[in-house]
Amino acid sequence: MTSDKKPKVLVYLFGSLGDTIVAIPALRAIRRHFSDTELILLQNVESGNIVKASEVIPEDLIDGYLSYKNKAGKISKIGGFYRLWRDLRRQQFQAVVYLVISERPAPSVARDKLFFRLCGIPRLLGFHAFSREELYPIDAVKRPAMTDNEAVRKLKRLEMDGVEFLPEEDLRTPFLTFSNAETEIIKNWLAPRRKKLDSRLIAIAPGCKTRANIWSLENFRQIGQRLIAADPNCEIVVIGGKAEREDGEKLVSAWGGGINAAGEFSVRESGALLSLCDFYIGLDTGTTHLAAVVGTTCFGIYGERNNPGNWFPLGTGHLVVFHPVVCAGCRAYTCPRPTHPCMTGVSVEAVWQNLQKFMQQKTPTGADISSVERIAV
């Protein structure tokens, strides 16, 4: 007597909105590789800032979800890992696919690998730690060099274990599409708030989780005012979470118009709203990745804490501006320098000059991530 149950494969992923979005190309490759398998995604949801993967990942890529929390205290953590170990052993997964961030240290990767082995999972894919030289290359003048996007790093890790990487298929944008019903909900919300229904809608996201990536609210106010002055028929919508709600109100008030959508929608609904926008202006943060993968071209204002390319928006037609500094590649979450030079050095005037060129040359997004333009200001 044979069982009709499909074999199960576990996918391990944790992180923020951006971390989840850049895992989608790898999930496409995994779905293709394990075409007749039930894929279950395991996610750590201990932090309130961690987005639920099910809000972002297309339904056809994952069949089910598991989650766990690391509670405070050594005894509680041990108990939590025991319960997770017991649950995973019971489900008898045939393989586990490792999609955590590529910067995860080698000892942590080895510990994770041992844990899944102890769960009785025979096949492990993607458990490869990168060296510092691979993660943080430098160029001939000792500056951080261009490197692979995190989405590509995940795919290359899987490729080492026999999962085929098809760039044109796996990196093709948009990653997320929306039904007519989903789009209508957003349009119906926008309609009574819009003063210029036939004008183009421009998205601005002033917030970000990492303090070292912040560009001041005053700068966004000035950029918004210049956009309105240059094109009186445009309308600006502020995108973000509940934490950006107050900032959105301040911007709309200062501009004398616009729409504050910060805190109004789920992640997926925000994606649907972004898909209706002509283009997007934002920082090195998850909302920028969301805009890119729904097919909206992005104007990114980035610092120099990371190697260029690693966290650029996926797709083509995007533009990233940055200000070169001697401390580039610091990877600090909070800038240790009082003047925060890599972000304060990006002036409103420089952004405006490049934004005007971007608006004139804007092109649709596509599959080639290497065409993101980067300009020093």
Half-sphere exposure of 65 (CA within 13 A, CB side): 17
Q: Considering the domain boundaries, does residue 3 fall inside one?
A: no
pTM recorded for the entire structure: 0.92
pLDDT at residue number 369: 45
Residues of the chain with pLDDT under 50: 1-2, 363-370
Q: What confidence tens digit (pLDDT) does each residue in 230-246 have?
A: 998 899 999 999 999 99
Q: What confidence tens digit (pLDDT) does each residue in 49-60 have?
A: 567 788 899 999
Q: What is the DSSP letter of 369?
A: G
- Nearest in space to 290 (alpha carbons), one of 314, 306, 308: 314
Asked whether residue 152 falls in the same domain as residue 86, the answer is yes
How many C-beta atoms surround the C-beta of residue 233 within 10 A? Answer: 9
Fill in the amino acid letter for 202: I
Q: Considering the domain boundaries, does residue 175 fall inside one?
A: no
pLDDT at residue number 155: 97
Q: Considering the domain boundaries, does residue 1 fall inside one?
A: no
pLDDT at residue number 16: 85
Question: What tokens were used for 20?
Answer: 């989840």
Single out the residue in 109, 136, 170 at which a domain terminates. Answer: 170
Single out the residue in 170, 198, 216 at which a domain terminates. Answer: 170
Asked whether residue 236 falls in the same domain as residue 92, the answer is no
pLDDT at residue number 343: 96
* Partner residues linked to 374 by β-bridges: 320
- The domain in which residue 61 lies consists of 8-170
Asked whether residue 162 falls in the same domain as residue 188, the answer is no
pLDDT at residue number 364: 45
Task: List helix spans (H) across the chain.
Answer: 17-21, 24-33, 74-91, 106-118, 132-135, 150-159, 167-170, 180-190, 217-230, 245-255, 267-275, 286-293, 341-344, 348-361
CATH number at residue 142: 3.40.50.2000
pLDDT at residue number 233: 87
Residue 74, class by beta-carbon neighbours within 10 Å (0-12 exposed, 13-18 middle, 19+ buried)? exposed
pLDDT at residue number 196: 81
Asked whether residue 159 falls in the same domain as residue 196, the answer is no
CA distance 257 to 195: 9
pLDDT at residue number 324: 95
Single out the residue in 170, 195, 221 at which a domain terminates. Answer: 170
CA distance 327 to 324: 9
Query: CA angle at residue 224 from 197 to 279, to 5 degrees?
Result: 60
Q: Considering the domain boundaries, does residue 65 fall inside one?
A: yes
Question: What tokens were used for 106?
Answer: 């080698």
CB 280 within 8 A of CB 291: yes
